[in-house]
Structure 1
């Protein structure tokens, strides 16, 4: 596992690589085979609810390594992990050493009991396992140099900020307009500033911090829009638009090789007034009603009864390079598709090789006049500001 992770570039420091080689992952997944426990890309030890949805898991090794590298843990640090499984807490304990302190917290009593048992069996009795709602943190164990959240969060509750040391950092999978990224948030006076973010995916927070995306059904449960925020103003019109002829516009912007372009998704999400993810079942994709890329959620701009979503087409016989395009349905499909394609071109021209998004998290009562220029996304406890500095380089 460690050799594969090294080859895939999961490690940026020798310290994190060393702890993955040291902690026995299979002891935290007793219901899995050793082969399954040590696969780089797989989550293990899943717990599901009555509807079959995963509510807890031990994350894939590559993702755990990503967040531990983001956290920049050092010996002697006090760390709170929100969302327990045991294995990640053991990795943290190795990184902070005997002089450090690790608290791992979970809302599920069964998960807490299992984490405690696995940590003891693996030789990490010093890790404190707490039963509680992650929304409130663990004040009695703070302040913390690092708070590492291993569940998908929609907001940053005040307790996390209150329990953070003056020079501390929060590493959290934060959902922004339906897109989840693992952000590193550092304190800067009365607000937090992101020092970096990585693509990720986690089981959603439970308890007081839970916040579900809304589904707007376009064709029963076969095709739907997943919306993180206000629902569309004309859901019936959007459903009817799916029967209208599809408009195609191609941007001329290509991507190939192993280049990541998830920063473009964030750009689109912050430039569109109404943004969501178009998701479809296999039958709708097979029939050609929607494009294949809707399986995981195609990035979609919505305007009244019209919607447009991004797609790709190969530009080489080997299918190693692709051009971004837009499919649109509705009474204003041509205009919205052109607008969408132009946003892709602007990203390519001004931000593809630039510094990326500048993201700050402010208290919910912060006046708009004091926030950076850009998209401001209101949440329960905070306002998330996302702006795009110029500075593309060739």
Structure 2
């Protein structure tokens, strides 16, 4: 057996193992999607030096291009999120699909699911990405089943009518009106939508003059480029040695950011919620709750060498600003039993204010959203609007419309 034959056999073995793991975890739900994951050679679409074990791991994304700063701008997404989004789209034989964000592998999966009678159009703004995708799809035998186009997909794709599904595989801050114009009346729009810095892959369908969600999955994607790009506002806070703690605002940055100058030089304060959680239990919905209901919410990062970096295992990258002070989501060992207690640590002369605000929302999440069904989402394009906003409902304003996030009430 040659080395190439041996590698192909090993890849086929790992491909089947990946499909088995995705089924066992509940990600793969339909036979066509299972067949696609057992058929398409994922290793043919990643850099040649990527180990097969890395390529076929359930939760590994493989970067295919970085910018001049070394930041990933194109990748083959983790298998679990790829299968989740394809299942969210509820595809069938003969359907037409628009993929926004190209790479080749996901388009090949889509081609397998919709079959030879279907249509897959894959669009990316970067010609280097589309050239690579075109070459890899041709080498893998999908040249006549996937059309690759270089364009900014914020505009309509010329020469094509409506699509039964539009799947966005880059982080989107808003819903482009062009997508709604090219989505079939009963079609599905699946996109990783950023909501105040927190992302979910949301499947939307039309309901009257707006979109309603049918499912949502926790995810993370490289941000969109071009007309749909949304640039966060960053605020760097130096410590005594010049190392930075950076606050990143998706929306609503501080009106007077200079009030935070020198804030890390002061004493740190703490506030604790009494809300606990066992180790290994997801609390991703807490992040979304804070992003929805906590004014001044932002993401936080700490440069190596800062005090926060040294304590990285005791906090999460979410913070809130109030005037001259800020607080960030923290945990400490629970007083009874295993697990941790949620709370907030704060810097600034009035650190108790943002810390108290965060703790209040942790308690609100525990009382009104925890251990309940996942929230639902609705998108209201410009010219439409929801009725009365309910207590457990948040409204986020976007460029082309607004988004509502609704937790089930009692």
For structure 2, list consecutive stretches of 5 or more residues without a partner in the other structure: 1-17
Partner of 1:345: 363
Shift of 1:386: 2.3
Query: Partners in 1 of 2:27 and 2:191 — Cα distance?
Result: 18
Partner of 1:18: 35
Shift of 1:328: 1.6
Instruction: Tell me how large the CA RMSD over aligned residues is.
Output: 2.2
CA 371–128 in structure 1, closer or farther in 2 if over 3 Å, else same: farther
Query: Partners in 2 of 1:90 and 1:293 — Cα distance?
Result: 42
Query: Partners in 2 of 1:163 and 1:293 — Cα distance?
Result: 46
Partner of 1:322: 340
CA 339–231 in structure 1, closer or farther in 2 if over 3 Å, else same: closer
Partner of 1:52: 70
* Residue aligned with 2:262, SS: helix
| Partners of 2:163 and 2:187 within 8 A in 1 | yes
Query: Partners in 2 of 1:106 and 1:81 — Cα distance?
Result: 9
**Correspondence 1:279 to 2:296:** no
Partner of 2:127: 109
CA 33–383 in structure 1, closer or farther in 2 if over 3 Å, else same: same
Shift of 1:3: 3.2
| Partners of 1:47 and 1:56 within 8 A in 2 | yes
| Partners of 1:185 and 1:192 within 8 A in 2 | yes
**Correspondence 1:77 to 2:99:** no
**Correspondence 1:187 to 2:209:** no
TM-score scaled by length of structure 1: 0.91
CA 180–385 in structure 1, closer or farther in 2 if over 3 Å, else same: same
Shift of 1:153: 0.7
Partner of 2:8: none
Aligned partner (choices 128, 147, 160) of residue 179 of structure 2: 160
Shift of 1:66: 1.6
| Partners of 2:121 and 2:147 within 8 A in 1 | yes
Aligned residues: 386
Partner of 1:34: 52
Shift of 1:160: 0.3
CA 256–104 in structure 1, closer or farther in 2 if over 3 Å, else same: same
Query: Partners in 1 of 2:388 and 2:74 — Cα distance?
Result: 36
For structure 1, list consecutive stretches of 5 or more residues without a partner in the other structure: none
Query: Partners in 2 of 1:124 and 1:70 — Cα distance?
Result: 23
Map 1:227-376 to 2 at 5 A.
227-285=249-307, 291-292=312-313, 298-315=317-334, 321-366=339-384, 370=387, 372-373=389-390, 374-376=393-395
The range that moved more, 136-145 or 149-158, is 136-145
Query: Partners in 1 of 2:336 and 2:395 — Cα distance?
Result: 42
